[in-house]
Structure 1
Amino acid sequence: MFTGIFMCLWLSLGDSIADSIEPLFTHKHVDEGETVTLTCRYNISDPNTYLHWYRQPPKSKPVFLLYIHQSTKFKSDIPPRLDVDVDKNKKRVDLIISSAAVSDSDLYYCALAPTVTGNPAALYKNPF
């Protein structure tokens, strides 16, 4: 029997001191095949704020998974069993992983970002 361990951290990129996002837990244990919901609570002053999820494999950089902006979802090239849901009344954003697998055991980040221009999926390359 496999028990997956999911860790959840946060990153706040909002443009207001009042903007914040934080996980409701720091670790979550699930059995393989179960559905796991990673939840973050947020407080934003601008309704145009994007709510993001990232995943960080061991000894690697964080990888963008998806974001939700109002009711629009944008997913990178991720399995369809990963989804996002927002409860605006409870100010919660959930990353839902159905049929959890051993390969899902990673560090996950929830993050805020203000409105962006251009392609949010494009990677920034430092010219220096």
Structure 2
Amino acid sequence: MNDLVCLLFQSHVKMITPMLLKLFIFASVYQECHGEERVDQPDPHIAEFEGRSVTLQCKYKTTSPQPELFWYIQKENHFPKYMLKRNKYGGEDNDAQFQERFDSNVSSDSVPLTIKNLHVSDSAVYYCVLQPTVTGNTRTLH
């Protein structure tokens, strides 16, 4: 019998380091002030059986002409770990650990993450992150 793999999308503040928490708080405040930039992971909990494939949805909205979209994984009692990066113009980068079974294709409003041949060790919190490319502003943000 296959084991169940649990994938979570919600932010667990107790699992985030103080520095990361400050970054998330800053991002939230920035989004409220400039509502053009946001990501939405509509399915907060997904469970699937080992050996199957799953697609984790991530919708985004940005006014940036060159957005960079990232996926991170955070396992229990660990820091978030970079998985992959995509952009609208075909730019791709996968961390070596996430090259075989993890893939993502970016469209004009989404960047879903597909995990093939699920392993129990894939159980984690997954974060979709949007980083607009800033041009023309060289001032330091405080």
What range describes the TM-score normalised by the shorter chain of this pair? 0.7 to 0.9
Maintained 8 Å contact 1:9/1:110: no
For 1:48, the equivalent position in structure 2 comes to: 66
Aligned-residue offset at 1:78: 2.2
Maintained 8 Å contact 1:32/1:99: yes
Distance 1:9 1:113, change over 3 A: farther
Aligned-residue offset at 1:69: 1.3
Q: RMSD value over aligned CA atoms?
A: 2.0
**Superposition misfits of 4+ residues, deviation over 6 angstroms:** none
Maintained 8 Å contact 2:64/2:133: no
Structure 2: runs of 5+ lacking an equivalent: 12-23, 135-142
**Which residue of 98, 102, 124 corresponds with 1:82?**
102
For 2:17, the equivalent position in structure 1 comes to: none
TM-score (norm 2): 0.73
Aligned-residue offset at 1:41: 0.7
Opposite residue 47 of structure 1, the aligned amino acid is P
For 1:126, the equivalent position in structure 2 comes to: none
Opposite residue 82 of structure 1, the aligned amino acid is F
Determine which structure has the larger helix proportion and give its number: 2
DSSP-derived class of the 2:121 partner: helix
Maintained 8 Å contact 2:87/2:106: no
Determine which structure has the larger strand proportion and give its number: 1
Aligned-residue offset at 1:18: 1.0
Structure 1: runs of 5+ lacking an equivalent: 117-128
Distance between the aligned counterparts of 2:10 and 2:86, measured in 1? 18
TM-score (norm 1): 0.80
Q: How many residues align?
A: 114
Aligned-residue offset at 1:3: 0.9
Aligned-residue offset at 1:47: 2.2
Structure with greater Cα Rg: 2
For 1:32, the equivalent position in structure 2 comes to: 50
For 2:19, the equivalent position in structure 1 comes to: none
Distance between the aligned counterparts of 2:4 and 2:106, measured in 1? 27
Opposite residue 74 of structure 1, the aligned amino acid is D
For 2:7, the equivalent position in structure 1 comes to: 6
